[in-house]
């Protein structure tokens, strides 16, 4: 296999709180997943879960490319542009990794003091803790009930050679 692309991913969850000035420290591993960038975009999640969704320039580039492929007159394009670009805050981390979330976003997520940063692969979510715990329980049960949903994507990745060498050596009986 040739050189692999390095993926920066947001993993784990971190409970923290707003400081007296309304700032919050972005977890160090999330700062690393931003690839050294200090710019963060945050908006109310479109799935109705009640959390905030966020990411860096890389995530916004994915959304720009995806929406650019839709016709300018497509009502779905307009709705997604509004949900992501119009409702987002463009935040800059300070030198110590802190951001200030706007009051409108805190209110949208029901956050008053405590919050949870939760990794979500190419993005992260910011939750009010009790909402996060309810969501976590629901997602754990959904994953348990749907184990076979990974079978087909795994087989396709294996056939395409898109899995780490350890997976292909196991599949080959080694």
Q: CA 52, CA 124: separation in Å to the nearest integer?
A: 8
Looking at the DSSP assignment, which residues form a beta bridge with residue 126?
A: 52, 117
- 32-79 pLDDT tens trace: 999 888 999 999 999 999 999 999 999 999 999 999 999 999 999 999
What's the pTM?
0.85
Mind listing the pLDDT tens digit of every residue in the chain (174 residues)? 334 455 689 999 999 999 999 999 999 999 999 988 899 999 999 999 999 999 999 999 999 999 999 999 999 999 999 999 999 999 999 999 999 999 999 999 999 999 999 999 999 999 999 999 999 999 999 999 998 998 888 888 888 887 776 444 444 444
Domains and CATH numbers, the chain: 13-127 (3.40.1550.20)
CA 60 to chain CA mean position, Å = 11
Question: What was the pLDDT predicted at 165?
Answer: 67
39, 97 contact by CB (below 8 A): no
Give the closest residue to 135 by CA, choosing from 113, 159, 118: 118
> Tokens in use for 136?
């976590």
């Amino acid at each position: 296999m040739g050189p692999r692309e390095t993926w920066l991913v947001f993993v784990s969850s971190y409970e923290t709180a707003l400081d007296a000035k309304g700032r919050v420290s972005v977890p160090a591993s999330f700062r690393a997943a931003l690839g050294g960038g200090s710019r963060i975009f945050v908006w109310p999640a479109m799935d109705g879960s009640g959390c905030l969704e966020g990411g860096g320039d890389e995530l916004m580039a994915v959304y720009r490319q995806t929406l650019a492929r839709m016709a300018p007159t497509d009502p779905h394009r307009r709705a997604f542009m509004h949900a992501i670009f119009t409702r987002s805050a463009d935040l800059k981390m300070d030198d110590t990794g802190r951001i200030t979330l706007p009051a409108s976003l805190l209110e949208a997520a029901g956050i008053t003091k405590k919050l949870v940063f939760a990794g979500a692969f190419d993005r992260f979510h910011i939750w009010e803790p009790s909402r996060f715990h309810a969501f976590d329980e629901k997602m754990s049960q959904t994953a348990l009930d749907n184990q076979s949903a990974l079978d087909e994507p795994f087989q396709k990745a294996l056939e395409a050679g898109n899995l780490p060498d350890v997976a292909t050596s196991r599949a080959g009986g080694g």
